[in-house]
Amino acid sequence: MKNIKQIQLGQNGPLVSKLGLGCMRMSSIWGGPMPDETESIATIHEALDSRINFLNTGDFYGAGHNEMLIGKAIKSRRDDAFISVKFGAIFHNGHPIGMDFRPVAIKNFINYSLTRLGIETIDLYQPCRMDGSVPVEDIIGTVADLVKEGKVRHIGVSEITANQLREANSIYPISALEIGYSLAERQIEIDLLPAAKELNIAIVAFANTAEGLLTGEMKTPLSENAYQNHFSRFQGENLVRNLEKVEVLKQLASDKGYTPTQLAIAWVKEQGDLFMPLVSMSRRSRLPENITAMDIVFTPEEMNTLNTTFAVGAIVGGTYLQR
């Protein structure tokens, strides 16, 4: 299995793998079944063996289960792993009920995370969103205090606006922006992405397949219990029109000998040195195909076809990423 290239987080930040491992699906999601823990830990170990060292979690994933799982996996391999943790979301019985970004709450969250992970310092700590309930300066300032205390190494942010990003970076250097980004989700190119590039902030891009739309496996209508049914992008004529766009991706993938998912990941990777595709996995069998995606290259004609087909606004309807 090939090793993964590295990127730098922020102006003078650390080097990490250009492919990130999203660990969310290693815990129960929205009250769903619990994945096999042994397989999840084996997946983390194999990822580390392949030099995928960026492990992403949230203190609210599985009500803390995700952090404890990662803690078990890295117990004897702390130096091999770069741990990224989001905080701030409050869940009850597997469902979100609000946010809490008060300084006193952040100071509480960090101690629980460190205990569950079994480590002394979190490599990248970030609010999961800025909801306006607490000033940006108070949130980032509190995390900056945690850096001084030695509990955090670098500060990241997630799902924020361009103005909030600039404000956060003026308070303390921001190393990474975690945000949904894909061929089908390009709204950040309007103002947030230019701001991040100007500030030399790395883009940790999740939802590379746009909630399954770009896998090439989605068909209309969706099954009644599919969570995507909640979003207008996957309803009625919107889904029909969107899947017509995906046919272009499927054909290109077939011509190149890859899967649509691999091309979707590769497109994110090809956006530049600041970009890291963050791919959720809970099984070792997914690793080879996702690692292979990092070696895919496109001709100028192929890239033009994708960028034209999936231009900003080409995919109709909203998802949870539009808030």
The full set of domain ranges for the chain reads 6-212+258-297
Per the structure block, which two tokens stand in for 22?
């999203």
Question: What CATH topology corresponds to 6-212+258-297?
Answer: TIM Barrel (3.20.20)
What pTM was estimated for this model as a whole? 0.94
Q: Distance (Å, rounded) from C-alpha 213 to C-alpha 239? A: 9
C-alpha to C-alpha distances, 16 to 11, 57, 73, 273, nearest whole angstrom: 13, 16, 18, 12
Condensed to tens digits (0 to 9), the pLDDT of residues 185-199 reads 999 999 999 999 999
Give the model's pLDDT for residue 101.
Answer: 96
Which pLDDT value is given to residue 218? 92
pLDDT of 13 reads 87
| pLDDT for 155 | 98
Mention every residue, 6+ apart, whose C-beta is less than 8 A from residue 127.
86, 87, 88, 101, 139, 143, 157, 158
Q: Active-site residue 61, yes or no?
A: yes
pLDDT at 33: 77
Taking 70 as the pLDDT cut, the residues of the chain under it are: 1-3, 30-31, 320-323
Of 61, 227, 258, 320, catalytic: 61
